[in-house]
Amino acid sequence: MATADRKRRRTVNGPAETGQYPESGRRPRACILMSTYNGAAFLAEQLKSIQGQTFDDWSLLVRDDGSTDGTVDIIRTFAAEDARIRLVESTPPGTEPLGPASSFGTLITSGLETASDVFFLSDQDDVWEPHKIERFLLEFEQQQPPLLVFSDYRKVDARLQDLDGSNLVDSLGASPLSLASLLTMNFIPGCCMAFNRALAEIATPIPGASPMHDWWLALTAAASGRLFRIEEPLVKYRQHGGNVIGASSLTSLARGVSDWPAIWRKGQRELVQTFSQAGELAERL
């Protein structure tokens, strides 16, 4: 790795360790996990950005959570033309969706049944930079497990035009992420992260008390392994009216008085979930 590239790398929990991947002489096997739900508007563009990666030795497992808009047809079309893409499960339309946390939890379990070494989480509506997988795998070759790596993102609109607002690096600043800070708030979007098998085995099954799968993965990495940050934006994080989870801004917190009771109840639920998740983490580890 070039000297300039090394200067751009930032370790979150201490200095980077060096060393070969456990099986010397080969690159890690990459598995991408994508949960979909009524994502037909942007799904094909994301799938094409994955197919256009400079590192092409990957597999993609997709789980649909009950779409009714043609999403499954798009997945099946791509899978028929590309053997690396596989629809592993679908929630039947009309039945209760699992939701993002449980759906991705199911996908991680499916991923562990493969021979993959590194798992990437993918949203259905983003666009990846062409060298995203290759850039991430450099870190998994250099460092020892358990490990979660995350990159910065560029916030874009539905037409992929840059939006105003801070990116992930600006939001986090220079301060390292600690377990204490992660216990209170989730800072790392799943679309920007990848993790190795050692971490996946510790983190699964994702507990029902955990509000989101990416939060639980970040917590598990902070408590049992390492977090590593790539400051380069490798995801175009698309914000549009149909996001299940999106990048929020302070302006979104400006509400009318009539909304305050609902906000208070939501805050109470999230506080309870935060304590429950911390308890689950203590028990798991």
Kindly tell me if the per-residue pLDDT of 49 is higher than 50: yes
Kindly tell me if the per-residue pLDDT of 7 is higher than 50: no
pLDDT band at 9 (very low <50, low <70, confident <90, very high): very low
DSSP assignment of 190-224, as one string? GGGEEEEHHHHHHHPSPPTT-S-HHHHHHHHHHHH
How many whole angstroms separate alpha carbon 4 and alpha carbon 124?
Answer: 33
Residues written for the chain? 285
Please state the rounded mean pLDDT for residues 12-30: 55
- pLDDT tens, 203-237? 999 998 899 999 999 999 999 999 999 999 999 99
Helix (H) or strand (E) holding 154: strand 147-156
Q: Report the SS3 class of residue 242.
A: coil
For the purposes of burial, counting CB atoms within 10 Å of the CB of 246, is it exposed (0-12), middle (13-18) or buried (19 or more)?
Answer: middle
How many whole angstroms separate alpha carbon 205 and alpha carbon 80?
Answer: 30
Q: Which residues contact 211 (CB under 8 A, 6 or more apart)?
A: 101, 186, 270, 273, 274, 277
How many whole angstroms separate alpha carbon 153 and alpha carbon 172?
Answer: 12
DSSP assignment of 96-151, as one string? PP--HHHHHHHHHHHHHTTT-SEEEEE-SS-EE-TTHHHHHHHHHHHSPSSEEEEE
- pLDDT tens, 132-182? 999 999 999 887 789 999 999 999 999 989 887 656 656 665 555 788 888
DSSP 258: G
Helix (H) or strand (E) holding 180: helix 179-184
pLDDT band at 29 (very low <50, low <70, confident <90, very high): very high
- pLDDT tens, 262-282? 655 666 677 788 888 899 998
Task: Count Cα atoms within 13 angstroms, Cβ side, for 101.
Answer: 15
Kindly tell me if the per-residue pLDDT of 6 is higher than 50: no
